[in-house]
Each structure stands twice: as structure tokens, then as C-alpha cells.
Structure 1
Amino acid sequence: MRLRLLVLAASCLLMTAACSSTPDDPTPTPDAGTQPPDTTTGDVAPADRTACSGLTVTAGTYDWTVEHGGRTRAYRVHVPRGYDATKPTPVVLSFHGFGSDEQEHELLSNFSRLGDTEGFISVYPRGLNFPEALGRGDADSRSWNGVACCGPAQVANVDDVGFVDALLADLDARVCTDPRRVFASGFSNGGFFTYRLACERAQRFAAIAPVAGMEGSAACAPSRPVPVLHFHGSADPAILYEGGNNIPAGRPYPSAAESVRRFAARNGCTGPEQQTFQKGDSTCVAATGCSPESATASLCTVTGGQHAWPGQPNFNGGTLDLDATLEMWRFFQARPRP
């Protein structure tokens, strides 16, 4: 498996190359200090769906595109075995890390395999690629605008939130989705972006589960409590567990604990933390006394863990003591959007 996920420490050329216009981004590029546009006006709850008719997509894996902002944007969809095109089905969107793509992230996250067993639709969007961003014609720099991170998408203020809006509308027209059970996850740069979606699209995403990515939004005011399940290795050398300012052309970001604490406060959690999982090197704690109680904010720490997806030992030595994908789905199942 050829994984080229986020290795920010070696990507210093992004600081200069990412600031120029490219064929993928024909508009003038803002200065790196420019605040992202306000996209919260699009945070509208979709109508509930009790049944579907006239949809013809069957189980399988599909590569689809949607037009947004003058660009053709791509995403991969895995429709599970046993899918019924008349019945609303849960959806998990999962966002790849910097420099990766939807195919690699499908393998890393393992959502498609679990979706076949559990009966949910897996969606893997593709970040924009800026071919010359690293000064080489064959360089990959696919990224997401996570406000504090990362790369050309963040520097150029790419409207990735608008892309997700367009993707969801396109997806709803193709498969029978359940608007109350749409969830988001992401790795690294994708984790930052997942947090941004919780800030700006709380009416669309019932809960989120970032891996190795922080809450880096300059201003975050979700329109409803959004449950969070965050995974992070304590020895992560790329996105530092204690927070930092090491992202080329990025911005300072908080610690894993602070990222989760912020959402606990937004979700009205006033009780003590409670341990919810412990095995080997992995421990999860959750805020309590939230409003509603299901709107908890949880942090799973892998002691000594690197920049990895827990449960995937073949990528950066992800621990086998904790299966992040399975725990995410259990978390999501219990937390549909009210």
C-alpha cells in the first residue's frame, strides 16, 4: 500500500510554492494570513427522509465527480452489500491526509469493509491537487482547508466546505442516504478539516471522529452540540499531541486535549471525565454531564503512538490495542442527529 500521508516536517517548500496560482486554482491566491470566508450561512438541516424511490445505484464501489467553484471535484463511494435503494442508509465521510488520495484512504481507514458488515455507505472525497506546489511536476499535494492546516488548500482558502455541500447534494440524488445519520472522520489534515465541518456544518454532520488532527478554526460556533471522538498518538512527530506551530505555512494549533475540551465546553459538558476504554497502550476518556448527554467529547490517547491510524499496524505502526474504525462506528451508531 503506497501511502504518502502527511509528513509536514519535510514539506517546507509548501510555504512558498503554495502561495502562487495554479491550474487547479485559477483565482488570485490570498495572503497566508487571510481569514477563511464565512461559510456558516450554509449550515442548514436537510429534510428528514423516511423512504426513497427511483434510485438505481446498487452495491459496489463508484468514482463520481461533482462540479463546484469552476472545478471538477472527485469522490469515491462504497455502497455496502445488502443495500436497499428504498431505505435511508447511514453515511460516513472520511477525509484523507495531506498528499494522499481517496484510494489510499479507503485502504487506511477500512470503512468500506466495515460498512459491508454494518450496513453504512462509505465516502472518500479527494482534496485538490496542486501539481507544482512542491516544485516538482510529479509532486502530490492534495489537501484540505482546515484553517490552521494544511498546504495549498489552506493557504489559498479553497472552499472545501462548499465542495462538501455539493458532494452531499450529489450523493443524496444517487443513493438513499439518511440525513440524520451522516458522520465525518479524517486523518491528519483531514482531521483538521473534520473539525472544521463540525464548526460550520453541525446541521449536516451528526458526529465527528478525527484522527491525528486538531481543532484549528479561528472561530468555531457550532449551531448545535456535535459529539466528538478524537484519536491521537502521544509521540506524534507531525501533528504534536501537545499542540504547536510546526506546520509549514500553517498556523498554531491546540493540543489534542484542548481540541476536545473546546467541544466539551460547546456541548455543555459540566461533569468529570470518565474512562471509557483501556487496553495496552490505549486509553479513552469522555466528558460527562453534556447537553444532551450523548453529545460527549472524547479523547483516545495511544501512549507512545506515532502519526498513525489506530488498528493499522502497517502504516506508521498503528497500535493493535485499539481499532479506531470500529470504535468510530460504535460512537456514530449511538449518536444520530436530533
Structure 2
Amino acid sequence: MVLLFLPLVAALTASSALAMGPWKGNDASCGADLACALGERSYHVLEPDGWNGVSPLPVLLHFHGWSRTGKHAQRSDRVGASAKRRGVLLVTPNGRAKSWNFWTAGTEDVPFTDAVLADVAKRYPVDAARIFVSGYSYGSAMAWRYACHSGKDVAALLAVAGSIDQSETCEEAPEEVRHVHGLADTVMDFPVGPGGDVTYPVALWRRQLGCSESEPRGDWQARSFLTLSRTTWTCDQGAVVLDLHPGGHFIPHGWIGRQLDELLGLTPSYP
């Protein structure tokens, strides 16, 4: 009798969880356009389309660009829409004065980001093996800084048009690094290496992860007018991917979605 009863209890529990809607622990005070307060600071969270309120969620933590806020990234079709349609929870912290202190190793923004992820895990059932960290421009440099000092639990760094000094030595590293940069970028200048080396933008991670051989992977279209050239490295401790395009300072349309498709094992789609 007990054996017959247990499956029924499990079924009712699951049904109740689905009926209650999105799971937020003991606090449903934030979401959509309402920021989640965390001490004197805050962050935004955007739930994916079609989530059942129970299944563990991959997370994309994205740092906004200079003079922006986390809300801008949530509303972006190149960030927010790409995460939503792929079943990924988008988390966008708010920088002080709409910026980030990525210049030094001792920045308060690293422990702040740790606290954001810990708070998100109290509100949502997070898939801890699929934490992706991204950023654009100043936010990309902040994503690099975060991965450099708190990256051991990061499955992949997805960086767009911004980095830190390639001569730095990092305490930690993500499992995988994917960086995209425009060759004509003059806002966060494209960091050409010695002898005109265009692979220099990921020199730090190639050194950190013990990368050796590089493999050009040809070109793929992000949009009809923009072709990205990809190079990958074989590494002892992970993987490094560099995508280059001939344009300037922007997030290539479809790039973040493409990376999530590949990392999550989804059929590539656009955007």
C-alpha cells in the first residue's frame, strides 16, 4: 500500500509546484522590471520562455556596458531575447554609477557578483554546472575580471568587445572561454599583439588554460552583412575560442545565442 501511495504523493507534489508557478524560494519581490535588492546594490532577473517553474535553470550572468543598467541587457534582442528563447535564466547586475571597476584585482564588484549568484540560487533552482558569464564593452572587461578571480565554477566566459590586460595572471579560470571582437573597434581598442598578432585578445586565457595548437574553423554568418572568422585552441584545462569580425564596437547579432546553442547542445538557430 505504501509503495502505491508514494508515486501519488510525488505526482501531487509536482503538480502543486507547477500550479504555484515560478519558484522563488521565500521571496517573490522582484522580477521583470523590478530589481532584486541586495544590500545597497541590486540586479535584474529575466525568466526564460516556457519554464515549468521546477526544472533547474542554466544561468547567463551578463554585465552591462558603460552608462547602462541591467535592465538594458534584459530588453536587448541580442542578450535578453537570446537567453529567454533558449531556456536560460538571465541575471544582470547593476554597476555602481552605471559602470564597473574592472581595473584592479581588489575590486568590490567581484564579491558583489558572487553575492548575486548566491542570491539567485535562493530564488531559483539553478543548474550549477551551467553558469555562463558574459558582458559587453566595459561589462566584458568586468566579465573577464570576474572569471579571473572567481571563475572556477563558471562553465564558460562569453566576452564581447572588452578585456583586461593580457599580461595579468589569474587566480582562477572558467572551463571555457569564448571572445568576440571587431578588428575596427576603437572604443575598446582591438588589442593587436606583437608582430600584428590578431589572436592576442585571448593570450591571457591561452596561457592560463595551457593552450597549444590553434585551429582555424573558417567563417560563419551572424547576419548577411557580417562574417565572423573563428579560431579555436586545444588546451590542457579547457577550451578557448576567438571570433573576429571586420566591424567596430557592438554585439554581433546572434552571437550570444549561437554560443548558448553550442554550449547547451541545442540545434543552432538565429538569433
Tell me the TM-score normalized by structure 1.
0.62
User: Are 1:269 and 2:211 an aligned pair?
Assistant: yes
CA distance in 1, matches of 2:210, 2:99: 32
The answer as to 2:170 corresponding to 1:200 is: no
Task: Give 1:147's aligned residue.
Answer: 103
Among residues 274, 297, 301, which one is paired with 2:240 in the alignment?
297
Query: For 1:287, what is the secondary structure of its paired residue?
Result: strand
Match of 2:263 among 304, 308, 332: 332
Structure 2 CA distance for aligned equivalents of residues 113 and 263 of structure 1? 29
Aligned sequence identity (%): 26
Given that 1:147 and 1:218 are in contact with CA atoms closer than 8 Å, whether structure 2 keeps it comes out as no
What is the RMSD computed on CA atoms of the aligned residues?
3.0
Give the 3 Å change call, closer, same or farther, for CA 180–310 of structure 1 in structure 2: same
For the residues of structure 1 that align with 2:25 and 2:167, how far apart are their CA atoms? 40
Q: Post-superposition shift, 1:218?
A: 6.6
Partner of 2:19 in structure 1? none
2:200 is aligned to: 258
Question: Aligned to 2:111, what secondary structure does the other structure show?
Answer: helix
Quickly say closer, same or farther: Cα 1:256–1:100, change in 2 above 3 A: farther
SS in 2 for 1:168: helix
1:179 lines up with 2:128 in the alignment:
yes
CA shift at 1:258, angstroms?
1.7
What is the match of residue 134 of structure 1? none
- Equivalent residue pairs, number: 237
| Counterpart Cα distance in 2 of 1:200 and 1:267 | 14
CA gap 1:143/1:256 in 2 versus in 1, 3 angstroms: farther
Cα distance change on mapping 1:210 and 1:81 into 2, 3 Å = same
Q: Which of structure 1's runs of 4+ aligned residues deviate more than 4 A?
A: 56-60
In 2: Cα distance, 1:325 partner to 1:90 partner: 14
Partners of 1:90 and 1:181 within 8 A in 2: yes
- Hey, what's the Cα distance between the residues in 2 that align with 1:217 and 1:242? 9
- For residues 59 and 328 of structure 1, the distance between their equivalents in structure 2, rounded to whole angstroms, comes to 28
Following superposition, the deviation at residue 236 of structure 1 comes to: 1.1
Answer whether contact 2:78 2:251 (CA < 8 A) is retained.
no
Q: Which residue number corresponds to residue 161 of structure 2?
A: 212
- Residues 166, 203 of structure 2: 8 Å contact kept: no
Describe the superposition over 1:207-263 as per-residue Cα deviations: whole angstroms up to 9, x where unpaired. Answer: 11111101337733243553111111111121111359xxxxxxxxxx873231321
CA-to-aligned-CA distance 1:93-124 (integer Å, 9 cap, x gap): 11111111112222336333233321110011
Pick closer, same or farther for the CA change 1:306–1:288 going to 2, 3 Å.
closer
Distance 2:198 2:117 in 1: 28
The verdict on how the C-alpha distance between 1:87 and 1:58 changes in structure 2, with shifts beyond 3 A counting, is farther
Residue 82 of structure 1 aligns with which residue?
Answer: 50
The Cα shift of 1:291 comes to: 2.5
Report the counterpart of residue 36 of structure 2 in structure 1: 64
Q: Distance in 1 between matches of 2:77 and 2:70?
A: 10
Map 1:97-176; keep pairs closer than 5 Å: 97-108=65-76, 110-129=78-97, 142-147=98-103, 158-176=107-125
Q: Secondary structure at the match of 1:282?
A: strand
Q: Aligned letter for 1:210? A: A
Query: Given the superposition, is the C-alpha separation of residues 222 and 207 from structure 1 closer, same or farther in structure 2, using an over 3 Å criterion?
Result: farther
* Alignment TM-score, normalising by the size of structure 2: 0.76
Greater share of residues in helix: 2
Partner of 1:231: 180
Q: Any idea what the Cα deviations from partners look like across 1:294-317, whole Å, max 9, x if unmatched?
A: x221111111x1111111xxxxxx
Q: Which amino acid in 1 is paired with 2:239?
A: T
1:230 counterpart letter in structure 2: H
Query: Is contact 2:152-2:172 (8 Å) kept?
Result: yes
- Return the alpha-carbon distance in structure 1 between the equivalents of residues 167 and 63 of structure 2: 20
State the AA in 2 paired with 1:189.
Answer: Y
Which one has more relative contact order, counting CA pairs under 8 Å at least 6 apart?
1
Give distance in 2, aligned partners of 1:106 and 1:209: 16
Bigger Rg over Cα:
2
